[in-house]
Amino acid sequence: MEDIWLYTSLTVVFLLFAFKVLLHRRRNHGNLPPSPPAFPVLGHLHLMKLPFHRALQTLSEKYGPIFALRLGSRPVVVVSSPSAVEECFTKNDIVLANRPYFLTGKHLCYNHTTVEALPYGEDWRNLRRLCSIEILSSNRLNMFLGIRSDEVKLLLRRLSQDSRDKFAKVELKPLFSNLTFNTMTRTIAGKRYHGEEVGTEEVKQFREIIGEIFELAGNSNPMDYLPILEWVDYGVTRRS
């Protein structure tokens, strides 16, 4: 008997909460652009099929260059018109400069406190000013000119050795990736972490960490769009 009352109470609370959320969305998002039919809770997640740009192009052809989507609990406006995009990022760039909260920003960006994850505001402007003065200024860049020149010379030497005897097919993508990462790590930590000639245990561990960070940052987490999943023991990504 007690279980029946418990389940009934939970059902009533859930229905009241769902009604409140739907009413709130209807009041606050009444001026959104055209939108395709959506499922309850999921919204338009079922329309996000790979490749995403083809799916968005199909929706744009049907609903116009500006249309609205609801990815779970997150409202999204898709703009594909060049003139509208220009207006968004010139006249209204401050309005659209904010950043949403994602699980990757919480766990990989120190709870949204880094410059790429921090929402727009006074703290973000201070961080941007600090980066411009202390990291990206002409004086700072000139201080690390030797590191960049050294890494470029190492890359050219590697290309010369590979094609010394005969023409060789070279995959440039990993070489440029090593060039970029080694320049960054030498600037930050004074060490090279990428390349065949680098093979210590510390370097191996660093590469694994960087690869895992890129994998986690590039993947969408269902809890970002369906917060109800946080109530259950879900998400290998979050535990990772």
pLDDT in tens, 131-179: 898 888 888 889 899 999 999 998 998 888 877 777 778 888 888 888 9
Overall pTM surpassing 0.85 (yes/no): no
| pLDDT value for 237 | 47
Rounded Cα distance, 80 and 74, in Å:
19
What per-residue confidence (pLDDT) applies to 224? Answer: 84
Contact present, 68 and 33 (Cβ < 8 Å): yes
Q: Which residues of 86-103 are buried (b: 16+ CB within 10 A; e: fewer)?
A: eebeeeeeeeeeeeeebb
pLDDT of res. 63: 93
Q: Which residues of the chain are modeled with pLDDT < 70?
A: 1-30, 195-199, 232-240
Residues paired with residue 67 on neighbouring β-strands, in sequence order: 78
- How far apart are the two ends of the chain, measured CA to CA in Å? 41
